[in-house]
Amino acid sequence: MKDMMEYKGYVGSVHYSAEDHVFYGRLEYIRALVNYEATSVSELEASFKEAVDDYLEFCKRQAKTPEKPFKGSFNVRIGTQLHRRAAIYAAEHGRSLNQVVEDALKQLVE
């Protein structure tokens, strides 16, 4: 992953502020705002991991379920014509629209 870090299933961004001379980032793909910063790459990696651990501990203390970065479902807006063509393709091939989209995404990212 370019400009990303991963730890315990969470993904964190990596940015640099030339003005402030700091590296910074946040946990991506969750609604909670969890950020971190440091002045070196190794410190940023440690700060990221600490932020994840702190978030998980906070959720535990609050008796909240931590957000999962990826739930396995998402909404896609593709326009009416593409939606129509994909639905017809799925029906003609005895597949669900979800299966067709999943296959297309697998082909694209693998």
pLDDT tens string, the chain, 110 residues long: the values are 678 999 999 999 999 999 999 999 999 999 999 999 999 999 999 999 999 999 999 999 999 999 999 988 889 999 999 999 999 999 999 999 999 999 999 999 99
- Pairing status of strand 15-17 against strand 10-13: unpaired
Cβ contact 29:11 at 8 Å: yes
User: pTM value?
Assistant: 0.78
Helices (H) and strands (E) counted in the chain, each on its own, are: 3, 5
